[in-house]
Structure 1
Amino acid sequence: MPILTLGEEGRWTNYHGTGTCHAAVRHALRSGDAVRGREELSIAARAVQDWLGRALAANRRVRPLGAGWSPSNVNIVSDSWLLHTRRFNRCFRIADEDVLPGVDAQALMLVEAGALVDEVSDKLEEQGRSLWTAGAGNGQTFAGACATGTHGSMVRRGGIQDHVRAIQIVTPSGIHWIEPKAGVMSEAFVTETGSILHRDDQLFAAAQLPVGAMGVVTALVVDSVPKFLVRPIQNLRTVEPGALDWLAAGDYRRFSAAYALDREPDFVQMIVNPYKPFKRPAMLRFLYAEPWRDDYPRATPGELGAGYDALALLGRLLDSYPWARGALLQYAMKLGYASGPDVDDPAVFGSWGEGLDTHRPLGNLFNASVTIDRADLSHAFELICAVYARHGGSTVVTLRFMERAQGLLAPARFRHNAVIDFDGPRSARTADAYARVVERLDAEGIPFTRHWAKSCQLDGGRVASDYGEDFRRWRAARDRLIPLPEHRAMFGSPVLDGLGLTG
């Protein structure tokens, strides 16, 4: 399983077109045909370590690339060596003898770093298992989604990195297998992966969300739950201002009873036009988990409510006609987001994976978000809409809810979180509106964090302030794993350097 060189030095542009690496030499790590996953990992990890050594000798920075999904440009570095892992994507079952006593091997799967969230989900469902959360789309690699703190979407769960039970990371000086102190895999299994075993809670909490700065992640052990069904309800409803107070208090049942079904929802999403948000209908989406049964009628992603980015189709109009922005945003929402089943429609069901369609960008999109303490929702929402009303910007405002996520650098770090996304056409006006949003939240003293993979208006001082002692612990764990400064610098980029993650 040698690492292949893909052509001459040149340019590489990320998936969303927000950044380009210049003078980059592209390489690829691809899966082999070993019968057992541990053998694959041993071969692959040695190849990666050798590749890192050659990059160090050539005085090149390195950047592992999965789906190239992140629009924040954390993965953009010129004069570098890029390692494409997308075809290093096999998934393996884990046997009872490969885990420690008391660990449920049937719930676990060994995943190579290039496997997409969608691929991991499909493999688990073939085995009668399921992921329990994910972001809004499944086109990221699982390792990349975890590395950047992709927020979850189930109201009683945390982030996607909460699925991770063990991690293999390669640095210039070693091949490392990192687990919580309690342990997961047998020592014999870890030895056969060619790794040094670390059972350390702090190191594991750092490696769950490494933001690409702790080495090359080559594999993950992913946890799961028994497969379940979800029933979606999606509609356009005018939401009363007081309903935000129900969401802020975590009274999802009351909100669901008012706008969908009178039962406890497992997922709540509210897409709002920030121009007159309580006069124009909001796009609401609920998911209700139900026990698995094999005889449910199959539905397409569209029938389950998966939409597309109508905002991208209207991007030029939204930016060119600011006087009509509110009406155009509402038209985009109606066009692109209201296709799912409503309360009075025949019920449709799908697995968790079937209800999440892989996102395909249709235009030049802007993506940003803030995560706040759920209790601050009503006040923060009022401030955000006031900024848009005064200064413009062509994004909708999306609200989702989740619990505290694992990982020292998890943006969802409050006990109960409201994640507020801003998605729309990319333009200077839209970027300025988001910058004004974060300035206003700061001015009002509302604590918040930002998604590592999105446009985030962050710097090193703000990262240190937002994450406090957890940031210090993350840096201490990184320094234990990569003790030499010249080795840490290899994994940097202009963005990561500015955030204080590689110094």
Structure 2
Amino acid sequence: MTQLTNWAGNISFAGPLQRPRSVPELQELVAGAEKVRVLGTGHSFNKIADSTGTLVSVADLPQVVEVGDSCVTVSAGLRYGEITAALQSRGLALHNLGSLPHISVAGACATGTHGSGDTNGPLADAVRAITFVNAAGELVTLTRDDAEFAASVISLGALGVMVSLTLDVQPSYDISQVVYDGLPVDRLGSDFAEVMGSAYSVSAFTDWVDPDVMVWRKMRAGAPIESEWLGAHVADGPRHPIKSMPADYATQQGGVPGPWNERLPHFRLEFTPSNGDELQSEYFVARSKAAEAFEALRSLGNRLAPVIQVSEVRTIAADELWLSPSQGRDTVALHFTWIQDEAAVLPVVSAVEDALNPLGARPHWGKVFAADAAYLRACYPKVADFIDLAAKQDPTGKFRNPYLETYLPLTPPRV
């Protein structure tokens, strides 16, 4: 039997994987299992989804895309690329998307996945209702009016198995994506507000050594396109986030207007990556500390150089979801794509955290990090409340796994 792994291939799951084909079948499976964890599309880089118990995929549940009044209800196993195409065909849109359209809606929301944009919250911020199977095998629906809702969207799989989500929608809109080469790295800090506020969604790519930064500006169609901007210039051809890589899989650039779902991601849906020869980490710092974070990372440039492929800088608007990396504060996200060599990467990850943790950096739940439970409890203000809720909702620990026992233990770690 083929070994079940995540997208990057750095995590092997215990397996086997159960694929229920109906919600009642899923309920029966959960009710009868001792331990349950859900696998999405495998785009996490740590063991957040692993378990020696029953592993479940919801991808084979009946596919649902039901448009309501300013909302859409979708089945949890659908990928963003699938639901956004359906929405666009109806003249509707979501507020934002992540860089990959291949990720599942439930998995992305449950782990705090985000796009970019000063006024855009994370993907989970669009969720107005969820339905999940709890530890007893019962269906539970929560809406924004429920007290436990803010704890239950980004839940790391600790509260149950997601069946469907209802998302806010808005009228469709067009985006023009323009890539700029040669932004002086100093200006990323000195002109941070102007850089990141220059379009609906902005991503800056650097390795913290190269003096030039590449910036992807995703602008509402009709916005003027400057050939020269803050010392940078429009790229003379399509670009991949990693400068040395071909741009074949990247979404349309060059300022050509197109629908939101074909411009907000960095990569095209029709080119499904079979695996990613990489590791990833990401840290979230209060926007007010962006310049300090950049300075700290530039001081580590020579340490980063042997293991980094690229680093991406994005912004996220504050939200109130308990385990969100942007909970309670406007945020700058600092993403790292590493080579796939854990022995070489992990010491550098620790060095990055030593530099960023004094700034209150929050690590991404689904990526590679070195922080322990005590630090996570300190930097995510609602962790203790979430642990109490999880213990109440899942008293036998059916949804707990070694990841949760390590990073969200039921009793405070001794320090």
Fold equivalence (TM over 0.5): yes
CA–CA distance in 1 between the matches of 2:169 and 2:370? Answer: 34
> What's 1:371 paired with?
284
| Counterpart contact for 1:235–1:338, Cα < 8 Å | no
SS of 1:265's equivalent? Answer: coil
Residue identity matched to 1:67: T
Could you report, residue by residue, the CA deviation over 1:129-150 in whole angstroms, capped at 9, with x for unpaired residues? 1111121111111000000000
Partner of 2:19: 28
User: d(CA) in 1 for partners of 2:48 and 2:167?
Assistant: 24
1:364 shift after superposition: 2.1
Cα root mean square deviation, aligned: 2.7
Which residue of the other structure, out of 7, 17, 21, is the alignment partner of 1:15?
A: 7
Report Cα offsets for 1:409-456 as digits up to 9, x if no partner.
0012352211011113112223321221101223xx211101111112
What's 2:390 paired with? Answer: 478
**CA deviations over 1:82-129 (Å, ceiling 9, x no partner):** 1111222622324xxxxxxxxxx3321111110111112111111111
Match of 2:318 in 1: 404
Matched, 1:70 2:44: yes
Distance 1:398 1:453 in 2: 17
2:182 to 237, 243, 248: 237
1:157 Cα deviation after fit: 1.0
Aligned-pair CA distance for 1:208: 1.2
Pick the aligned partner of 1:50 from 28, 32, 43: 28
CA contact (8 A) 2:200 2:219 kept: yes
Identity between Structure 1 and Structure 2 (%): 21
- Say if 1:87 and 1:114, in contact at 8 Å, map to a contact too: yes
Matched residue, 1:87:
60
The C-alpha deviation readout for 1:60-92, integer Å capped at 9, x for no partner, is x211122122112201223x2111112226223
Q: State the shift of 1:210 in Å.
A: 0.7
Distance 1:393 1:374, change over 3 A: farther
Structure 1 residues 205 and 93: alpha-carbon distance in aligned structure 2, compared to 1, 3 A threshold: same
Contact 1:89 1:116 (C-alpha < 8 Å) held by counterparts: no
Q: Deviations over 1:130-188 (max 9, x none)?
A: 1111211111110000000002322211100011111111123222111122xxxxxxx
Aligned in 2, Cα 1:423/1:108: closer, same or farther, shift over 3 Å?
Answer: same
Aligned AA (2:300): V
Contact 2:93/2:171, CA 8 A, preserved across alignment? yes
Q: For 1:89-168, what aligned pairs fall within 5 Å after superposition?
A: 90-94=63-67, 105-168=68-131
1:462 Cα offset (Å):
1.6
- Secondary structure at 1:82 match in 2: strand
Contact 1:113 1:218 in 2 (8 A): yes
**Alignment-mate amino acid for residue 50 of structure 1:** E
Is the contact between residue 179 and residue 239 of structure 2 (CA under 8 Å) also seen in structure 1? Answer: no
Where 1:111 maps in the other structure, the secondary structure is: strand
Distance 1:136 1:306 in 2: 16
Q: Which amino acid aligns with 2:121?
A: G
Give the partner amino acid of 1:251.
E
The number of equivalent residue pairs is 391
Q: Is 1:437 paired with 2:380?
A: no
> How far, CA to CA, are the matches of 1:477 and 1:239 in structure 2?
47
Residue identity matched to 1:375: S
1:451 is aligned to: 364
User: 1:341 deviation in Å?
Assistant: 7.6
1:478 positional shift: 2.6
d(CA) in 2 for partners of 1:71, 1:133: 23
Structure 1 residues 501, 245: closer, same or farther in 2, change over 3 A?
Answer: farther
How does the TM-score come out when normalised to structure 1? 0.72
The answer to whether structure 1 residue 207 and structure 2 residue 185 are counterparts is no
CA contact (8 A) 2:185 2:213 kept: no
Q: Calculate the TM-score normalised by the size of structure 2.
A: 0.86
Matches within 5 A, 1:80-479: 80-88=53-61, 90-94=63-67, 105-173=68-136, 174-181=138-145, 200-201=146-147, 203-247=148-192, 250-252=193-195, 264-275=198-209, 277-278=210-211, 281-290=212-221, 308=240, 332=244, 335-336=246-247, 347-355=255-263, 356=265, 357-358=268-269, 360=273, 363-390=276-303, 392-395=305-308, 396-427=310-341, 428-442=343-357, 445-468=358-381, 470-479=382-391
**1:362 Cα deviation after fit:** 5.7
Which consecutive segments of 4 or more residues in structure 1 shift more than 4 A? Answer: 305-310, 335-342
Alpha-carbon shift at residue 47 of structure 1 (Å) = 2.3
Q: Secondary structure at the match of 1:353?
A: helix
- Tell me the secondary structure at the aligned position of residue 366 of structure 2: coil
| Amino acid corresponding to residue 296 of structure 2 in structure 1 | L
Task: Name 2:228's counterpart in structure 1.
Answer: none
Gap regions ≥5 residues in structure 2: 223-234
Structure 1 spans left out of the alignment, 5+ residues = 1-7, 31-43, 95-104, 182-199, 257-263, 292-302, 311-330
Shift of the 266–45 alpha-carbon distance from structure 1 to 2, 3 Å rule, reads: same
Cα distance in 2 for residues equivalent to 1:338 and 1:364: 15
One-letter identity of the residue aligned with 1:138: P
Note the C-alpha offset of 1:479.
Answer: 3.5
Contact 1:368 1:451 in 2 (8 A): yes
Amino acid corresponding to residue 140 of structure 2 in structure 1: H
Rg larger for? 1
The answer to which structure has the higher helix fraction is 1
Secondary structure of the equivalent of 2:10? coil
